[in-house]
Chain A
C-alpha cells in the first residue's frame, strides 16, 4: 500500500492510467505518457500573469461583442443589423426557446463565467490571496471548459454571411471584431492557465492550513 505522502509525488495518465513519478519540470516543459502519448504534466510559461491580463482583455471585449451589431445588411436601400442580443430576443419572440437558451448559454453565459473565473483565480494567485474556497471554485471553473462554443459560433456567423451574400450587401461591424477578439482571449486563457500549477499550489496552501 502507498501512503498519502507518496501519492502526491505520483501522477497517472488520464488516457491509459499508467503510473509515473512526478517529473521535475522547468517552465515551458511538458511530460508525455510513454504508453499512449497523451500529455501527462505541463509547466506553462508565466501562467498567472498571462491569464490575468488575457481575462481582463477578454472581459473588456465582452460587452461590445454582445451589444454591437455583428452582421449588417443593406437590402432595398434599407440598412439592417443584428447583434448577439438581438439574435436572442428575436429567437425568443419566435418561440424558439431552446435555441435561444443554447445561444445564450454557449455564446454568452459560459464564456463570460469562464473569463470572470479565470480573472478571479489569477487575481488571487497574483496577489497571494489564496483561500480554501478557491479549491471548490477552481473545480467548478474546470467543468465549464468543454461547454464554451465561441469558435463554433464565429464560424456560424461567417457561414450565415455567405448564405446572405446572394441578394444582399453585407457589411462587417465592430461587433464582429469585438467578438473575434473575445474569442481569441477566451481561447488563450484556457491555453495559458496552468491547471496543475494551480492545483498544486492550492493544495499546498489550503490543505496545510487545515491540518
Chain B
C-alpha cells in the first residue's frame, strides 16, 4: 500500500522498518518511529472514535497527552488489553491491534449517534435533571446509559505483566527534555549536581527538535540543529541520568515525585516477554526544575469538533517529526503567529494551503511576512462561522468579524478543505507546580496562569514555556538566567548565545467566536471528550451556578480522561466574561494528580499475590497444614481454625474437638498471642499503672490475669502476665492487640512516666506457645517433662516453672482459658514444632485432639470468658462486663481509672454483658442478632445484640453471650431475637454456663 501522505526525507521515522498493525480489524502499515496516530493519518484515517454524550464522530486532534478524542483500546487478550490509550502517545509496534471505543456497532455507524439528533434535549445537567426522578426508574435509566455510553473495557483476567518500583534520590530533578530542560540539565550536571532528567517522549528535544525554520536560529544555525548537538553532548556528562518514555505523574510535598517509566509498551508482544513492563519511580529531589512546556489552545466556534480539525501545532509535528501530511488541502485558523510556523512547514513539504483565517486585524511580524511570500491567501479579521462534513471536514464557512468581535458582518465565504488547523494561543503546563502546592498568578496580556514565584512551597523553579516564555529568545535567556540563580552558578556556556526569532506583535483573544446563527443553534465544543459546549457553560451560569468547581461538575467540562487540558481555559474565559469577573480572581479548578493516567500495575508494583500483605505463620504451621487444618486470618496471622476429619463439617469438627478437650485432652497452638518482656526496677509499679488490678504483691513464679483500659475507661486488651523474677515479667496480649499494646505502653513510658526504670521488648515471634488442656493434660506433661513436679502443691493453678525438654529450655505456666486443668509451654520457636510433636506422641493413648480457634472460642464461652474485640467493642467498661472484681479500687491510679465514675460510665442503663439461653436448646442464635422485648412496637426498641453464640456439646444446648441495656438487672427475664422468618424466644442468664464452681481447674 502506498502512503501518498508520507514524505520521504524524515530523520525521526525509520522508513526501512515497516510495521503492520490493525485498526478496527483493518490491516494497515506504518514505520518504526510512528505513533498509532501518525500511522493512522498516513493511512488517511482521521475518524477514530465517538464523543461521550452525543456520539459525534471525532478525529485525532493533537499529538500528545492532551488528546481528548483518539482514545483507543489496545489488544483484545482478556488479560493484556489496555483501555483508554491515547493514539497520539502509543508508539507503533509490529502486530499492534487497536479498537475505537465508545461506539456501537462500529465507528462509522453508531447507534448512539441518535443522541446527536436529540442534542437540543440534552443540555448541561441533563442526566442530573432527567434521571433523578422517579427514583424507581433509575435501574432502567442506568441500563440505557451504561449500554450507550462508557469508555474502554477493563481486562477481565489477572495482569501477567511485571511492574517495578524504584526509590531514587538526587540533587536536581529536571522534568521535561525540551530546550529549556536540556539547558537546565546540562548546567546542573556540569556543576556537580547529581541530576535526573525525565521526558515522556522516546526522543529528547520537545518541539524544538523539529523546528527547522529560518526565522528561528541559535548561533547562526537552525534551532533544531543546535539542540541536536547539545543533546549529543549531555549524554556524556557523568552526573546526569536521562530517562525517556518516563512521565511525571504526581508532585507531592517536600519534593517527593512519582514518575512512570514505560519499558515495553513500544515493543512487539514477542519482544516484551520476561521484561518489566513499567517502573514507578519514587523520587526525592533536593531541587526540582519544571520544564514541562505548554500546549496549544483550540478555538471555540460552531462545529469545531469534526474529524480533520486539529491543533495547528499537531499538524506541524505530524509533518516535521513524523513526515505525515494531515491533509491535502489544509486551512489554518488562528489568533496568533504560531499557525504561520505550521504554514511554512507545510509549504516546505509541498502541502497545499487553502488559506489562513486570522481573527486579528493584521500582523507584520517576520514570520507572517515569510508566509506572505508564498502567496498564501490570508483572511484577516475573519472567523469561521460553521463547518461541514460528517465523518471528515469538507467545507468551512467564514465571515468578517465586527470590530468588537461580538458578531460577524458581510458576506459568507465557503471554502473547501479536508483538514483544518486551529491555534488559539498557548497554555503553560502548570499542573505539576500546582500539585506541589504552588499558587498561580494571572497574566492578562495573553490570558495565561503562571507559577507565582512568591508562592512556591518547595525548592523548585519553572522555566521555559510552562513559565510563560513562548519566544525562543526569551526561553533561552530566562532559562539560563533562572537556572544559574537557582543553582548558584556563576558562568554558563549559554551566556553569550546569539538567538534570532520572530517577535509576535499582536494577539487577539475571543473565547467564544461568534457565528451568524444564534448561540442556541450552534455547537461550539469546549470539552471534546465529554461533549460540553460553550452553550452548556452559559446555561449553567443562568441556572445559578457560580463556583467554577460547580460549573465543571454540572457541565462535565474538563472531567474526561484528558482532564480538560485543551479547553479549561476557554471555559474559565467564558465564565469570567459572562459574569463580568476578572479571570485572575476566578482562578482555576484544582489540578489533581496523576497528570496522565497511571496503571494499577505500576501503582501496586511487585506487591501482588503473596506479597500484597505480610502473612505470619507460627512455627507449627506446617504441622497444621499436614493435618488438614482449615485456617482463619487473625490480623496477619494464619491460625488453625479447626481440623476436619473424614469429611466432617466445621460444626461437626468443632463439636468433636470441644468434647475431647473436656473429656480427655486437647492441644492448641497459642503462639500468636502477643508477648512483651518487661524488665526494670519499676516493672511492678508500671504494671500497677497499666492494669486495673494490683500487681505489687504478685509473688515471683505466679501468674495473674490483667485487664487494660483506655484512658476513657473502656476495655482495651487483656491477658495473663507472669512474674519471672524480682524485676522481670512476661505479659501476654491478645493476638490482634499485640502491636498496639506495645505502642501504648511505650507511649506512657516515654511521655508520661519517663522516670520509671522499665524496658519493654516484644518477644511474640521468639517464643511459641503450646496449650494443653483437659483432665489428662497432667499425664501428657509428665511424659514430656518427667523431671517437673506437677503436684498441685508444687505447681498450683496460676503459677509458672522454668524447665527443660530434651535439653531445650522452656517456661511452663499452669493457666487456663478453658476452665480445664491446663498448661502452656513457652519454647523458643525453632524447637516448637519438635516439642509439639513430642506432646502429640505423648498423648496418643489419651486421644489427644488438636483444636483450633473456633473450639477455643466455644470452650471459653462455656465459661463466660470474654474475648476483647468480640464481646467488647471499645464502649464496654469492666463493670459493663460484670468484671468489677478486677478493679483495684484502692489503687491510687491506673490508666482509665478516673473515667470509671464519669456520669456516663456509672449509668445503670448501659449495655452490659449477659448470658442468653434459647428456649429451644437446639436453636443457635446468630452473632450480631438484635434483642427486643416487644414485637409490635414501632419503631421497635433494640435492647442489645448477641456477641458470641455456639452449640455447647458439653452442655448439649445452645449458649450465647450478649450485651443488653441494663443487662445486670435482667436475669431470668424473657426476650425475643427476631430473625427473617421467625422470632426466637430467649432467657437472660448468668454468663457462666459450665462448671460454675471452677472445680475442673484442679481436677
Q: Do A and B come from one complex?
A: no
